[in-house]
């Protein structure tokens, strides 16, 4: 599997925010979000091919019970099934972070799905493919049945709510598993959006999701 980085940090997003976790970040993505915060896994994928047993061995060096398999898009990473099975066999709680456009057989405890809204469409040659792929309702519903799930949305403007409501409706998601996070890679930009996103959450019954790693460390790699 092509790995961009393996590191120990705290989960910054979602229902397990704050939990110390080892992150295994695969490189390679089928989407190209305009605001991608890990362009070294999508726009300019970097990394090293690693055997699954070497990844498991490196994860085992850290004092963590939680593993987060992320990307890029981990569902297109070769060996994702073997990796997630190996992590669970080692007794770890496994979260998979995916954009929800591809299904793969995996073992996990939390399917953390972040469907990409229209605010993610890039300019240029990737625009059409990105827009065509970004919402796959049948894949979303299938992923939501694998294990516990959460739907995380990156929100850039109040107008994003219409699209969020539509996705929640077609997936029949429970509203308290829907998490809205402000778009941005610096704490000032996140704070600018926090108040009106919180009001949307109050009105709709969604959860407001902080991005703790940005608040604590800013736009840095490996945290
Ligand atoms: S799906 Fe994730 S990794 Fe891929 S381009 Fe979008 S934000 Fe980046």
* Ligand 1 neighbourhood includes 73 CB (under 6 angstroms): yes
Supply the pLDDT for residue 191: 85
Specify the pTM: 0.94
Mean pLDDT score across all residues of the chain: 95
* Ligand 1 neighbourhood includes 1 CB (under 6 angstroms): no
Is the pLDDT confidence value at 19 over 90? yes
Using CA atoms, how far apart are residues 25 and 3, in angstroms rounded to an integer? 6
Distance 36 CA to ligand 1 centre (A): 5
Distance 63 CA to ligand 1 centre (A): 28
Give the residue whose CA is nearest to atom 2 of ligand 1: 72
**120-129 long-range Cβ contacts below 8 angstroms, 24+ apart:** 120/31, 120/33, 120/34, 120/35, 120/154, 121/34, 122/32, 122/33, 122/34, 123/34, 126/32, 129/32
* Ligand 1 neighbourhood includes 38 CB (under 6 angstroms): yes
Is the pLDDT confidence value at 214 over 90? no
Supply the pLDDT for residue 192: 87
Give the residue whose CA is nearest to atom 7 of ligand 1: 36
Supply the pLDDT for residue 97: 98
Number of C-beta neighbours around residue 183 at 10 A? 22
pLDDT digits 0-9 by tens, 36-85: 999 999 999 999 999 999 999 999 999 999 999 999 999 999 999 999 99
Number of C-beta neighbours around residue 70 at 10 A? 22
Distance 163 CA to ligand 1 centre (A): 18
Burial class (CB in 10 A: 0-12, 13-18, 19+), 205: exposed
């Amino acid at each position: 599997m092509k790995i961009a980085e393996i590191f120990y940090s705290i989960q910054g997003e979602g229902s397990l925010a704050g939990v110390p976790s080892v992150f295994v970040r695969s490189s390679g993505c089928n989407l190209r979000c305009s605001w991608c915060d890990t362009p070294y896994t999508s726009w300019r994928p970097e990394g090293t091919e690693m055997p699954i047993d070497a990844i498991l061995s490196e994860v085992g060096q850290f004092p963590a019970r939680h593993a987060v398999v992320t990307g890029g898009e981990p569902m297109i990473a070769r060996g994702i099934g073997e990796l997630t099975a190996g992590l669970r066999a080692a007794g770890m709680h496994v979260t998979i972070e995916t954009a929800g456009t591809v299904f793969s057989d995996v073992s996990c405890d939390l399917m953390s799905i972040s469907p990409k809204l229209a605010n993610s469409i890039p300019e240029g040659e990737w625009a059409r493919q990105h827009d065509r792929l970004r919402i796959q309702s049948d894949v979303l519903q299938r992923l939501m049945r694998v294990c516990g799930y959460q739907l995380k949305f990156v929100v850039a403007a109040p107008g994003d709510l219409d699209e969020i409501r539509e996705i929640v409706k077609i997936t029949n998601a429970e509203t308290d598993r829907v998490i809205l996070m402000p778009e941005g890679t610096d704490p000032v930009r996140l704070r600018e959006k926090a108040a009106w996103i919180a009001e949307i959450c109050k009105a709709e019954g969604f959860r407001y999701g902080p991005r703790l790693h940005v608040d604590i460390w800013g736009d840095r790699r490996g945290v």
